[in-house]
Amino acid sequence: MILVTGGAGFIGANFILDWLAASDEPVVNLDKLTYAGNLENLAALAHDARHVFVEGDIADRALVDALLARHKPRALAHFAAESHVDRSIRGPGEFIRTNVEGAFTLLEAARAYWSALPQAEKAAFRFHHVSTDEVYGSLAPEAAPFTETHPYAPNSPYSASKAASDHLARAWFHTYGLPVTISNCSNNYGPFHFPEKLIPLVILNALAGKPLPVYGDGQQMRDWLYVSDHCAAIRRILAAGQPGETYNVGGGNEMSNLALIKTICALLDTLEPRADGLPYARQIAHVADRPGHDRRYSINARKIERELGWKPRETLASGIEKTVRWYLEHDDWVTHAQSGAYREWMARHYGGAHA
């Protein structure tokens, strides 16, 4: 049995689906079901006894203690987080509560549980903390990609809150011996990605005939990682990662936001042409850049390849095509994900034309 936090979100849900496709080991899934937590992501497991869902908050110490005592997991994979930079700029408090206080609560609960385990189970236990490349800050155009020893320099409330949780996880290993591993990943994409994020936003706005918002000049560079590749990396870290170690996980697919949007438009031109026959790229609309927008992220993932034998299977071309096709084939999921609070927030953030 493993315990997963945030397993109804984008990456967490993909991880659980991939885990149970590859293994019969059960999963306890603790998720608060905030706006981005969607049990519909896990509809395929609705009648699967290997998936035990618990609605709750990672900051609820009594609940976490009770789950650990009842289910006795051999590992905890911590995905739960507030993760959208724009939301963190408008409302940083919830990011501090979930990403910092929630991580602290989990670490303390895990430490108490782990300390009481028999020696063999204690040695085998793992606490894996999932983080982001954004903790490293912004890279210059000519700079080498981030390695695991790159100094932290977070520039948004979101990345600062994740940096704080990384430091807590590292400290709980060095101070208390809790067998923690950490991964810092690049930008994920793929099925079940919440529609406020760049790739699904572009796909869905394009199909709806709406503007495709591009921050500033659109030359912000990102390394894109297909979500199933990320899930495979975490499975490998849980299986063979060394306590106290950090592993950078990247797709090796660096591209500017504007080029990525044009790539998606070109795919849609082929897979779902506009009724008028015009290219989707004509819907691109540049908007004011967001405050503190990091210019470039790039991941050096050689450590995890060298030490654990992991490397991504998907290229950006293959992963983007799979992603676009998934959204074209899952209208019901999209409709449900775009209801209520999501539409209201998008209208406030981008204005009516970009909602």
* Strand 180-185 relative to strand 126-132, pairing: parallel
* Strand 27-31 relative to strand 2-5, pairing: parallel
116-139 per-residue burial string, b: 16 or more CB within 10 A, e: under 16: eeeeeeeeebbbbbbbbbbbbbbb
Q: Please provide the size of the chain in residues.
A: 355
Q: Which residue has the tokens 């019969």?
A: 24
- Sign of the CA dihedral running 46, 342, 323, 331: positive
Query: What amino acid positions are annotated as catalytic residues?
Result: 133-134, 158
Tokens of 317: 């071309």
Report how far residue 61's alpha carbon sits from residue 103's, in angstroms, rounded to the nearest whole number: 11
Report how far residue 165's alpha carbon sits from residue 171's, in angstroms, rounded to the nearest whole number: 10
Report how far residue 107's alpha carbon sits from residue 113's, in angstroms, rounded to the nearest whole number: 10
Report how far residue 212's alpha carbon sits from residue 105's, in angstroms, rounded to the nearest whole number: 40
Q: Are 103 and 133 in contact (CB under 8 A)?
A: no
CB-based burial label for 209 (10 Å; 0-12, 13-18, 19+): exposed
